[in-house]
Structure 1
């Protein structure tokens, strides 16, 4: 196993990294970039300075993956997740007027991505004649920067549509910006990724650095998305299919035998992971940590037999699964293991005592079951026979609901510390199969699409049930966009894919209206894009048009 990339370094090197991440504070627009402190060009031409700048490029990934902003803008406000009881960003789920050009997350994402882009531009533009590094190493680090730059522009173009496009380093205040044509932005993303593919190694010397398969996976996803857009080229879906097939067939990745093992805490660097954003139990280099363990967790800690603890987590109650997720996507709990491998249905007591459970007295001992969510309507008489609290689907609320387990993190330092250390699995082989299937659907290759979907579904078949593998298979005649979207929802639930999936396929409005009770009354076609931050428009000389629906 290789060592992991160091995103953040302890002082005093940490201060050096900050100076190299030339860019924005949380409230600044990218056109008003202030250099936080000066670093001489000569230092950037040294091996130490150049490598620090490259590592600084990776830091911006941690502002997106595993953070509330990333979950808010991709998880709820969809057909699979709706709002829980808490949080200040529910307008991303309900699509009310608070989702506006002055919204904090819309501004923060814009700033974070352009800060990262400016850092990559610095690396790329200053990569000549680095003292103490071979040209091969320099070329690889530049390819990593191009991978990250492409990633960031892909997030931006799917979120806001046409955005400002620059590949030049910004060193001072700049007030000139325009919205580049969509085709130009996609062309730059594709060019960066093709350049990266030609240079990056198959396996990185440090786990977490960009690799050739990661760039191929990302490019396949970019071309799949472009194929639906106004910038589409005739070969996009065929090229997306080819790249996905390369990742699937040309390397040592594999679907793990057990779906549950993909997110096992002691198995994070597994054969299904193509690329992950790194976090660490060493809090000196963990930054703000992976916070996703906070957001999917029900309020367990005020209920019979329970109190808050590190093992079960700190429940922020942000994201609650929709009825569509529970009753449709996860309806086959006989043949498909993804229900019980994805959700926590039992909480074990750490606060023993005598309580009232379902209307009768119950005595709960340390280590006994305290809370149980069976996932079906258990008769009341049967509930009363249980010496613990039972919550059936009709009793779910915005505080009580099945908890997604993919992101839970019992390795946090203390009960209330939000800094999780799980890696965020940004790319894994199951999604590559589903990208290939969708690209093949769009080309009318239903047999090949069914094969890829069946690879994912058969892996999730319950071995203990006779005939489950056959029950999980789909035929070419069943393949359509709804089936693929449902399979993506089932397999990739809570992994920061869903909002982009629905926007890409032009299904966001229809599916939110059908399956999300909070978003249904308000969502409109213009919500397929987020608002351009007003701060960007205010600080730009000349016109920087707003997206339709968000005013002028």
Structure 2
């Protein structure tokens, strides 16, 4: 995947000529010529993967997939409170508009490839694999579209010119195609790949398991999850914290990831052709989003280790209280609560380098006599558990990158995990619970809870079938997957969004039932000529 980036950039520049008032194509190549050779077609497939980078590890993706749920609320730096807190969310939202365009561009590229692959000059075995990858990716992108916007525009053919009409297609039709595409992927993708980031047979099975759970096909969801767990070389890492080490990203627990390059030049932070308007997309930005502002506090200055805090999102008190950190190692692996002195110039008297300078806590803390700053439960959260101090709080650290070259570096080469093996245990557990097999569901959940146990506290982490409920499963998904861009989908899938959002009061006060769908971008509504057929989602203006 990574070694084809230069070719991808060249092709993107070629395609960008279509946006010029005066076209100039010095190479003389046409789309038909490029896509009629294996080398040229490879650029199409690589480009089809690249659209995942608009969502995974990006602020826009976090705003849509994690925020507006029970787990998070806004930090001071949150730019999109209309999304994250449903505050007068309307069709003019730029995030919704931008991702709509990118997802449909991805769909069109997949459709283009599927319609042209027979003439690409591939050998039969390579053609079957590339065809399967495009089917997988089309299913993946359509899942985002149908869950975000419902029964909107649907097509399986290449758009080669200007189209001014759009259709409204029922959700069932989207999912019928998703399942067909994934069947093709499962049947034709290789079990493994030497080109990290490409889809494989187990990745397709894992995503199909997610789709089966979404559509209530519990027997099949359980079987597919079992297949991924038992039939391949994946394994849970012994320590949850090891998942997030920058030197261990390509590990046995990752079923599929969006990969970013260590050479940030090729992650395209700003490219006028790929990213119009000069908006910095670049590499993984997750390390920027969840950190509280520490760098103006006594004894502290910004450094690489503690990160560059954009202060966008803070955990809800509900999320923090889901953990018993005495028994569950995931709390300290997931969150940062202590900042150590790195600046003697502003340090209080008696503080040395490496001493505690700042403590954030979900508990009420007596700060009397302490020479470091304390931000406790009463400081950070209101009595109703909404955000009070949105600048200083326990911070998600799973996506931190202490390998960045400079304190101001916005980009990280961290891969964004899309599917982990732990999710397969959780899918199997939920499917078994839905089938009435609570004891078996508990067995699956206990596998990941035992992995997370603090040594000596293993017994405290074990649950039984009597403990199992849908809320417990959602709680466990929060502990295991917080921040991994699944939460909004989980709550919508289980019909729990309206109920669980009450645990994050800042979003709950604005939430309306129609928010289970996003607004269709206004520029799309304005552009179509069949406005009586292609109308806005209910509730939005």
TM-score using structure 2 length: 0.91
Find the partner of 1:116 among 73, 86, 106: 106
Compute the displacement of 1:375 (Å): 4.3
Structure 1 distance, partners of 2:85, 2:152, is: 25
Deviations for 1:181-209, whole angstroms, at most 9, x for unmatched residues?
A: 11110000010011011010111120100
Aligned to 1:367: 354
Compute the displacement of 1:71 (Å): 0.4
Structure 1 distance, partners of 2:16, 2:129, is: 19
Task: Please give the root-mean-square deviation of Cα atoms over the aligned residues, in Å.
Answer: 2.1
Find the partner of 2:430 among 438, 444, 454: 438
Deviations for 1:139-165, whole angstroms, at most 9, x for unmatched residues?
A: 111111111111000011111111211
Deviations for 1:405-460, whole angstroms, at most 9, x for unmatched residues?
A: 11111223332221111000111011111111111111111122111111111111
Compute the displacement of 1:275 (Å): 0.5
Aligned pair 1:311/2:302, yes or no? no
Aligned pair 1:150/2:139, yes or no? yes
Deviations for 1:462-514, whole angstroms, at most 9, x for unmatched residues?
A: 11x2xx2221111111111000000001110011011111111111111112x
Find the partner of 1:406 among 388, 391, 398: 398
Compute the displacement of 1:23 (Å): 9.8
Deviations for 1:227-253, whole angstroms, at most 9, x for unmatched residues?
A: 2xxxxxxxx111111111111111111
Aligned pair 1:423/2:415, yes or no? yes
Aligned to 1:286: 267
Aligned pair 1:478/2:467, yes or no? yes
Instruction: Please list, as runs of the form range in 1=range in 2, the aligned pairs for 1:213-228 lying within 5 A after superposition.
Output: 213-227=202-216
Deviations for 1:124-153, whole angstroms, at most 9, x for unmatched residues?
A: 11111433x422112111111111111000
Q: Secondary structure at the match of 2:536?
A: coil
Q: Secondary structure at the match of 1:151?
A: helix
Structure 2 distance, partners of 1:531, 1:44, is: 35
Find the partner of 2:160 among 163, 168, 171: 171
Structure 1 distance, partners of 2:398, 2:16, is: 31
Compute the displacement of 1:255 (Å): 1.0
Structure 2 distance, partners of 1:249, 1:21, is: 45
Deviations for 1:513-542, whole angstroms, at most 9, x for unmatched residues?
A: 2x1121122211111111111222222231
Shift in CA distance, 24/530, structure 1 to aligned 2, threshold 3 Å: farther
Deviations for 1:30-80, whole angstroms, at most 9, x for unmatched residues?
A: xxxxx9977331221112101111111111000010111100011121111
Shift in CA distance, 524/406, structure 1 to aligned 2, threshold 3 Å: same
Compute the displacement of 1:354 (Å): 5.1
Is contact 2:8–2:47 with CA below 8 Å preserved after alignment? no
Structure 1 distance, partners of 2:53, 2:135, is: 17
Aligned pair 1:42/2:18, yes or no? no
Is contact 2:246–2:403 with CA below 8 Å preserved after alignment? no
Instruction: Please list, as runs of the form range in 1=range in 2, the aligned pairs for 1:359-398 lying within 5 A after superposition.
Output: 361-381=348-368, 384-385=369-370, 387-396=371-380, 397-398=389-390
Structure 2 distance, partners of 1:66, 1:104, is: 18
Is contact 1:23–1:118 with CA below 8 Å preserved after alignment? no
Is contact 1:353–1:364 with CA below 8 Å preserved after alignment? no
Aligned to 1:29: none
Aligned to 1:230: none
Aligned to 2:293: 299
Aligned to 1:528: 516
Compute the displacement of 1:369 (Å): 2.8
Deviations for 1:347-394, whole angstroms, at most 9, x for unmatched residues?
A: 222211354xxxxx533333333222354333233xx24x43333222
Is contact 2:428–2:441 with CA below 8 Å preserved after alignment? yes
Aligned to 1:59: 50
Aligned to 1:358: none
Structure 1 distance, partners of 2:79, 2:255, is: 33
TM-score using structure 1 length: 0.89
Is contact 1:5–1:209 with CA below 8 Å preserved after alignment? no
Structure 2 distance, partners of 1:23, 1:248, is: 46
Aligned to 1:334: 326
Structure 2 distance, partners of 1:412, 1:169, is: 40
Question: Which deviates further from its counterpart, 285-294 or 533-542?
Answer: 533-542
Structure 2 distance, partners of 1:57, 1:13, is: 10
Q: Secondary structure at the match of 2:128?
A: helix
Is contact 1:450–1:476 with CA below 8 Å preserved after alignment? yes
Aligned to 1:496: 485
Unaligned runs of 5+ in 1: 26-34, 228-235, 356-360
Q: Secondary structure at the match of 2:247?
A: coil
Find the partner of 2:69 among 78, 101, 108: 78
Structure 2 distance, partners of 1:222, 1:478, is: 26
Structure 1 distance, partners of 2:31, 2:185, is: 28
Aligned to 1:233: none
Instruction: Please list, as runs of the form range in 1=range in 2, the aligned pairs for 1:223-238 lying within 5 A after superposition.
Output: 223-227=212-216, 236-238=217-219
Structure 1 distance, partners of 2:136, 2:344, is: 52
Is contact 1:116–1:149 with CA below 8 Å preserved after alignment? yes
Aligned to 2:199: 210
Structure 1 distance, partners of 2:445, 2:14, is: 46
Shift in CA distance, 24/347, structure 1 to aligned 2, threshold 3 Å: farther
Find the partner of 1:128 among 88, 95, 118: 118
Find the partner of 1:15 among 5, 10, 33: 10
Larger relative helix fraction: 2
Unaligned runs of 5+ in 2: 269-281, 381-388
Aligned to 1:544: 534
Number of aligned residue pairs: 514
